[in-house]
């Protein structure tokens, strides 16, 4: 069975300097392998920036800045196929938020 993949949150607005986490839930038979990409490039775990835990379920981005804005894609793949779901991270100053939008 081809993988089914879902990420949370689908969009996150955050200010610079914060740590953010995204979750990926993947199902399929056989159980799919999961990997994270940012703007189509593989996310490489590092002490300073990216942590991937729980067999790829959680991606943590540390001390975010404006260059961390982008599409974070969770890719689940097994013998039956490949699926991707996307979580968008927008790093923004509060003054630049659209009217009515507040940071969490």
What average pLDDT does range 5-17 have in this prediction? 94
pTM for the full predicted model? 0.86
In the chain, DSSP assigns E strands to 4-8, 11-14, 20-27, 33-38, 41-42, 50-53, 58-61, 70-78, 81-91
Q: pLDDT tens, 17-54?
A: 999 999 999 999 999 999 999 999 999 999 999 999 98
Distance CA 99, CA 55 (A): 39
pLDDT at 104 over 90: no
What average pLDDT does range 1-27 have in this prediction? 94
Distance CA 35, CA 66 (A): 23
Reply yes or no: is the peptide bond before residue 94 cis, omega within 30 of 0.
no
Domains along the sequence of the chain with CATH: 4-91 (2.60.40.10)
Max Cα distance, the chain (Å) = 47
């Amino acid at each position: 069975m081809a993988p089914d993949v879902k990420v949370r949150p689908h969009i996150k607005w955050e200010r610079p300097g914060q740590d953010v986490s995204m979750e990926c839930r993947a199902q399929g038979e056989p159980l799919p392998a999961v990997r994270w990409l940012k703007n189509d490039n593989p996310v490489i775990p590092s002490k300073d920036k990216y942590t991937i835990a729980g067999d790829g379920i959680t991606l943590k981005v540390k001390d975010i800045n404006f260059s961390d804005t982008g599409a974070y894609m969770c890719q689940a793949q097994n013998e039956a196929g490949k699926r991707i779901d996307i979580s968008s991270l927008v790093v923004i100053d509060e003054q630049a938020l659209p009217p009515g939008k507040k940071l969490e």
